[in-house]
């Protein structure tokens, strides 16, 4: 596994604006079959509905592996936290013997870079993991022929009967859910002093001790602030600002300041970002509110004719969307893997694309 060293952005990965339908929304149910439907070939119809056989999918996977090994490497752009991208890149290389290189970059720069490189016929990425501006990215990418729709890509993992279909949006496939949570300094806060819900951060004991991430760094932060406005009204923001919050340009410096004791609580935070610091010895931990929204990381395939390693990129996408690879990618406390959503917060609210229209009003309420 190699990390692309050039132009790596330090900001914590931004959040996703949900695509056409939220990942956790109920799957729509098809209408009852017509009683007058033809019964001439029921076995054939059942086979078609079930999709490719396990043997056919395995054959496709083996062909993909062979072609990927001939290409030798896969490069991916990722808005995921460093540890997640590194972990899955290493596991992929160990699994298939294909080198994985990644560039960790925040959502807005990733989108700009992607389109600039394709326009210049010099796209470095064979695969994209994006949490932020997903709807606009895929709509523009599909229109220009720069992106291949995931539901038509024929990836064995996605075609498998085991793949949770509600996470296939059409243009993309969700690979992870990162609930927005409350980060706190574990050396200074214990027991009942730890905020459990968002409303708890308004307690006067946190006066001057709240560290806020600038929501302008990514549209995804707007999801949480929109949810809190809808739940608690504008008074939530009035009380928050009265506490004298400290503002940071992105997640990483806010979380590092939290670990350094510059505050008691940082918000909002994502699981992997805090766990990465905790693993390095920082006194930080997470509190997961029952009512929250989150980031939803999406796998996106550039059009095959635009990339340098189409088969290796597709194999990497397939691995991350398989049960095995998805478990590796999501091996962080608080992160929800798509094959096991049992840890999702009880009152989780999926992102809503329309919240982007509230950006100016919400950032003003937050004092940015």
Within this chain, do residues 348 and 359 fall inside the same structural domain, yes or no? Answer: no
Residue 313 lies in a domain: yes
Residue 44 lies in a domain: no
Within this chain, do residues 89 and 217 fall inside the same structural domain, yes or no? Answer: no
Within this chain, do residues 56 and 164 fall inside the same structural domain, yes or no? Answer: yes
Residue 43: burial class (beta carbons within 10 Å; 0-12, 13-18, 19+): exposed
Within this chain, do residues 234 and 277 fall inside the same structural domain, yes or no? Answer: yes
Q: HSE on the CB side for 96, CA within 13 Å?
A: 33
Residue 116 has pLDDT above 60, yes or no: yes
> Domain count of the chain?
2
Residue 152 lies in a domain: yes
Residue 47 has pLDDT above 90, yes or no: no
Q: HSE on the CB side for 181, CA within 13 Å?
A: 26
| Domain ranges, residue 239 | 180-291+354-365
Within this chain, do residues 241 and 279 fall inside the same structural domain, yes or no? Answer: yes
Question: What's the CA gap between 49 and 61, in Å, rounded?
Answer: 21
Give residue 41's pLDDT band: very low, low, confident or very high (50, 70, 90). Answer: very low
Tokens 């752009």 belong to which residue? 77
For the residues 12-21, what does the mean pLDDT come to?
A: 34
Structure tokens at 181: 């949570």
Residue 36 lies in a domain: no
Output the pTM of the full model.
0.79
Within this chain, do residues 300 and 261 fall inside the same structural domain, yes or no? Answer: no
Residue 40 lies in a domain: no
Residue in 156, 134, 54, 111 with CA at minimum distance from that of residue 299: 134
- CATH code, domain carrying 233: 3.40.190.10
Within this chain, do residues 202 and 282 fall inside the same structural domain, yes or no? Answer: yes
Within this chain, do residues 312 and 191 fall inside the same structural domain, yes or no? Answer: no
Which stretch of DSSP H or E encloses residue 58? helix 54-71
pLDDT digits (tens, 9 = 90+) for 203-232: 999 999 999 998 887 778 889 999 999 999
Residue 37 lies in a domain: no
Residue 167 lies in a domain: yes
For the residues 296-323, what does the mean pLDDT come to?
A: 97
Within this chain, do residues 251 and 115 fall inside the same structural domain, yes or no? Answer: no
Within this chain, do residues 301 and 216 fall inside the same structural domain, yes or no? Answer: no
pLDDT at residue number 270: 85
Within this chain, do residues 101 and 237 fall inside the same structural domain, yes or no? Answer: no
Question: What's the CA gap between 242 and 128, in Å, rounded?
Answer: 41
pLDDT over 90 percentage in the chain: 71
Instruction: For residue 237, report the phi and psi dihedrals to the nearest 5 degrees.
Output: -75, -35
Within this chain, do residues 119 and 217 fall inside the same structural domain, yes or no? Answer: no
Q: Does residue 4 or residue 187 have the better pLDDT?
A: 187
Residue 173: burial class (beta carbons within 10 Å; 0-12, 13-18, 19+): buried
Which residues sit opposite 104 in a β-bridge? 78
Tokens 């929304």 belong to which residue? 25
Q: Does residue 107 or residue 362 have the better pLDDT?
A: 362
Give residue 5's pLDDT band: very low, low, confident or very high (50, 70, 90). Answer: very low
């Amino acid at each position: 596994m190699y990390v692309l060293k050039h132009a790596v952005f330090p900001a914590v990965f931004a959040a996703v604006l949900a695509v056409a339908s939220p990942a956790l929304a109920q799957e729509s149910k098809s209408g009852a079959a017509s009683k007058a439907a033809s019964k001439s070939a029921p076995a054939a119809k059942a086979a078609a509905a079930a999709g490719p056989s396990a043997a056919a999918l395995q054959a496709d996977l083996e062909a993909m592996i062979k072609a990927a090994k001939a290409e030798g490497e896969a490069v991916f752009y990722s808005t995921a936290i460093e540890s997640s991208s590194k972990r899955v890149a290493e596991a992929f290389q160990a699994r298939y013997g294909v080198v994985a290189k990644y560039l960790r970059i925040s959502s807005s720069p990733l989108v700009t870079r992607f389109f600039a490189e394709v326009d210049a016929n010099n796209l470095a990425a064979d695969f994209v993991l994006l949490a932020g501006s997903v709807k606009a990215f895929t709509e523009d990418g599909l229109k220009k022929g720069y992106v291949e729709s995931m539901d038509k890509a024929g990836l064995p993992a996605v075609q498998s009967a085991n793949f949770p279909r509600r996470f296939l949006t059409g243009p993309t496939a969700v690979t992870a859910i990162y609930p927005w949570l409350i980060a706190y300094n574990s050396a200074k806060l214990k027991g009942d002093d730890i905020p459990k819900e968002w409303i708890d951060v308004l307690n006067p004991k946190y006066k001057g001790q709240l560290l806020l991430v600038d929501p302008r760094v990514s549209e995804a932060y707007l999801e949480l602030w929109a949810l809190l406005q809808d739940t608690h009204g504008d008074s939530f923001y009035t009380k928050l600002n009265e506490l004298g919050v400290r503002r940071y340009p992105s997640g990483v410096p806010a979380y590092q300041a939290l670990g350094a004791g510059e505050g008691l609580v940082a918000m909002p935070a994502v699981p992997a970002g805090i766990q990465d610091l905790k693993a390095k010895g920082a006194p930080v931990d997470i509190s997961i509110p029952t009512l929250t929204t989150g980031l939803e990381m999406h796998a996106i395939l550039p059009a095959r004719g635009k990339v340098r390693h189409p088969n290796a990129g597709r194999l990497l996408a397939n691995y991350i969307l398989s049960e095995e690879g998805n478990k590796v990618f999501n091996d962080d406390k608080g992160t929800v893997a798509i094959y096991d959503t049992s840890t999702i917060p009880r009152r989780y609210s999926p992102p809503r694309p329309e919240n982007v229209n509230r950006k100016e009003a919400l950032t003003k309420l937050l004092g940015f």
